[in-house]
Amino acid sequence: MIVKVVINLEIRFNEPALTVKEHASRRRRSPLWQRFRRNKLAVLGATIVLILVLLAIFAPILSPYPYQEANFGATYQDPSFAHWFGTDSLGRDMLTRILWGMRNAFTVGFGAEVVELTLGLLLGAVAGYMGGLTDNVLMRFVDIVYAFPSLLFSIILIVLLGHSILTILIAVAATSWVGMARVVRSQVIKIRQTGYIEAARGMGASTWTIIRRQVLPNSMGPIVVAVSFGIPANMTIEAGLSVLGLGIQPPTPDLGELIIEGQQAVFSYPYLLIGPTVIFALALIGFVFLGDGFRDIFNTKSKR
Amino acid sequence: MLKYLARRIFFMIVAFFAVSLVTFLLMKSVPGTFLTINMAMNNMSSAADTLGISDQLMTSLTQHFHLNSPWYVQYWFYVSGFLTSHMGNSFEFPDIPTLSLIERTFPISFSLAFLAVAVSSILAVLLGIIAAMRENTWVDSSTMFVAMLGTTIPSYLVAVFLMLIFGVWLHILPILGINGPQYYVLPVMSLALPIVSSTSRYMRNSVIESLHSEYIVTVYAKGGSAKHVLFGHAMKNSLLPFITVVGPQLAGLMMGTVLIESLFGIPGMGSIFVNAAQQRDYPLIMDSTLLYCLVILLMNLFVDLLYGVLDPRIRRTGYSS
């Protein structure tokens, strides 16, 4: 016993003393951020996503040409300094179209995720926390939405509501929120059984306060992971609808539409295909790296 | 077991009717009917000919499709028609029974999805086992890196890359239409590869977990070979978690065929549905959505029952959860 204490003391004393500055910096940095920074791929992913999002936001300023401007004197130009990704069948600059297409993809990707998050948090937290009949009814509802042929449902919604970016956003979110609701519910159920929830209830906190102040903040990890995998999934659906010709209508450029145009010209002008697909793939990969990094940080084994 | 099955089938019926009802109500609230749309875009489709018809025929057509009846009569007209496989004809293809249209296109879509499942399962199991056996070596990490890349690349992007490589640069595989076995290679690969990447990762993790468990040590102690350990014990126990991951992918795969069909110009159910939705072809929208829904529900049921086949514990204690 005594020996143990002595050894402990020794170990303490042998530790190099921290300078004041080091001490301060250790305190300031949260361990989450440090763990994130150590994961090289996650930082790479975050960088890719950040750059592409900035490019998309500033597309109106950055794009070298107006996206709808046709130039019949310069159709099917190979990539050059004037047109980094070449020009298409109407002489429109591909770089411009890709930038604007990304803008749509990100708008739908982030926007639909916000809708999903709101619905998922609300229903998932209520179902998980209340349990019993409420849980049963809500989860059967979620199961039924799960049984929907999701893409077909989105297509019918778009035919119903029209082809604007807002309706596409709604159509994408309408079927994918159930995944988020399931993640939130399973987290909430796990946390509900912990001691501190019991303590809060014992101290007289209302259900709503407990959900808001204890349950949700503590279930953030898997939710953040689900969000970072959900955004690229939404972008995929958005571009997929465009591949079917049901996305945002021309002349507004869209990545899916660019991919289809490239695919149709694949034998004669393969560069039309390479530009949009590589950029799109890069954006998606950025999100995967980021999501994987988050998964490591929060040390969750969430199913995608 | 029987109780579980009964409950599952009851849920399936409820889900089926919920899906059909929502689809029907949405479809009905879409502005514009088939006939008015065809009037606006004259001669867009073969059915535009019906506009030249007499008023008498028009009213009899309206009566046949119950277009003036209350919504629940119309709804039941479609659903009962689907369930008894007396679907009649659709607006768009008045001279082809919908059933024969589905008979012609559904096998193509289903075989695409089925082949994709088969190919991806075999590949994922193989890759997962290889990576697990060489845990923490370059084989493991490179396989898993590629798997991670594949998790978010959607099938249509994979399809486009495959077309570029095998169709345009190497000139060894056809990239359009469906006209023989070699036409299936690229569509099936592009459906399978994204699934392989996400599932092989789970296979690897579950094989590693089994390889590190105590009964494997026992098998080694009793003189079992590595082959014996892997195929006799570890793999069997790793397949259950694997199937829990593959299962939910099946529904997504059915949806994936819609996109792949349109990319490769394959005349399957997907292209029929997209066309029907754009043309407001009510009977065809209903029939194809219901068929997809039924397939997805049956696939999910099949996967759930498969858990019981693979894990005797689930079979014995009942499918409680």
Of all residues in chain B, the one with the smallest CA distance to A267 is B168
Q: Report the range of poorest mean pLDDT among A31-40, A160-169, A201-210, B130-139.
A: A31-40
Does B80 score more than 80 pLDDT?
no
Higher pLDDT, residue A153 or B224:
A153
Does A109 score more than 80 pLDDT?
yes
Q: CA B125, B127, B132, B136: dihedral to nearest 10 degrees?
A: -160
Q: Please give the angle made by the CA atoms of B303, B288 and A108, to the nearest 5 degrees.
A: 80
Q: For chain B, give the mean pLDDT.
A: 77
Higher pLDDT, residue A14 or B229:
B229
pLDDT value, residue B208: 83
pLDDT value, residue B48: 41
pLDDT value, residue B224: 76
Higher pLDDT, residue B148 or A107:
A107
Q: Can you read off the two tokens belonging to residue A198? A: 């019991």
Contacts with B, A 246-275, CB within 8 Å: 246, 259-260, 262-263, 266-267, 270, 273-274
Residue B61 pLDDT level (bands cut at 50, 70, 90): low
pLDDT value, residue A128: 84
Distance from CA of A202 to the nearest CA of B (A): 31
Residue B113 pLDDT level (bands cut at 50, 70, 90): confident
pLDDT, tens only, B267-313: 888 888 888 877 777 778 888 888 888 888 888 788 777 777 777 76
Chain A positions touching B153 (Cβ under 8 A) are 281, 284-285
Does A114 score more than 90 pLDDT?
yes
Ramachandran quadrant class, A245 (left: phi over 0; alpha: psi -120 to 50; beta: rest): left
Phi, psi of A93 (to 5 degrees): -70, 125
pLDDT value, residue B31: 63
Residues contacting residue B239 through CB under 8 Å, at least 6 positions apart: B125, B310
Does B156 score more than 80 pLDDT?
yes
| A38 touches B at CB < 8 Å | no
Report the 10 Å Cβ neighbour count for B232.
12
Using a pLDDT cut of 90, give the percent of chain A over it.
5
Higher pLDDT, residue A18 or B11:
B11
Burial tier of B285 (Cβ tally within 10 Å: 0-12, 13-18, 19+): buried
DSSP tag of A252: S
Does B29 score more than 70 pLDDT?
yes
pLDDT value, residue B272: 82
pLDDT value, residue B7: 81
Report the 10 Å Cβ neighbour count for A301.
8
Q: How far is B214 from B224, CA to CA, in rounded Å?
A: 14
pLDDT value, residue A193: 81
Residue B214 pLDDT level (bands cut at 50, 70, 90): confident
Does A10 score more than 60 pLDDT?
no
Higher pLDDT, residue B201 or B38:
B201
Of all residues in chain B, the one with the smallest CA distance to A237 is B154
Does B5 score more than 90 pLDDT?
no
pLDDT, tens only, A202-224: 888 888 888 888 887 888 888 88
**How many residues can be counted in chain A?**
304
Residues contacting residue A139 through CB under 8 Å, at least 6 positions apart: A127, A185
Fold of the CATH domain B102-317: MetI-like fold (1.10.3720)
Indicate yes or no: CB of B19 within 8 angstroms of CB of A149.
Answer: yes
Q: Which of B156, B171, B206, B281 is most worth mutating to test chain A (most A CB atoms within 10 A of its CB)?
A: B156
Does B246 score more than 90 pLDDT?
no
Q: Can you read off the two tokens belonging to residue B62? A: 């309206």
Distance from CA of B292 to the nearest CA of A (A): 6
pLDDT value, residue A110: 92
Which stretches of chain B are DSSP H helices?
Answer: 2-29, 34-40, 55-64, 71-83, 98-133, 138-152, 155-162, 182-211, 214-221, 226-227, 235-264, 269-279, 282-310, 312-317
Indicate yes or no: CB of B259 within 8 angstroms of CB of A160.
Answer: no
| A153 touches B at CB < 8 Å | yes
B169-206 burial code (b ≥16 CB/10 A, e <16): eeeebbbeebeeeebbbbbbbbbbbbbbbbbbbbbbbb
| A85 touches B at CB < 8 Å | no
Distance from CA of A69 to the nearest CA of B (A): 27
pLDDT value, residue A115: 93
Tell me how far the alpha carbon of residue B60 is from its chain's centroid. Answer: 38
Q: Can you read off the two tokens belonging to residue A90? A: 């109407």
The interaxial angle of helices A271-298 and B155-162, nearest 10 deg, is: 140
Q: What is the mean pLDDT of residues B36-64?
A: 53
Phi, psi of B285 (to 5 degrees): -60, -50
Report the 10 Å Cβ neighbour count for B88.
15
pLDDT value, residue B66: 67
Distance from CA of A159 to the nearest CA of B (A): 7
Higher pLDDT, residue A47 or B211:
A47
Q: What distance, in Å, lies between the first and last C-alpha atoms of chain A?
A: 49
> Structural domain boundaries of chain B?
20-98, 102-317
pLDDT value, residue A25: 52
Residue A301 pLDDT level (bands cut at 50, 70, 90): very low
pLDDT value, residue B51: 53
Does A169 score more than 50 pLDDT?
yes
| A136 touches B at CB < 8 Å | no
What sign for the dihedral angle of Cα A237, A242, A247, A250? positive
pLDDT value, residue B315: 63
Q: Can you read off the two tokens belonging to residue B321? A: 């959860």
Chain B positions touching A155 (Cβ under 8 A) are 273-274, 277
How many contacts does A have with B, using Cβ atoms within 8 A?
128
Q: Report the range of poorest mean pLDDT among A116-120, A185-189, A294-298.
A: A294-298
Chain B positions touching A249 (Cβ under 8 A) are none
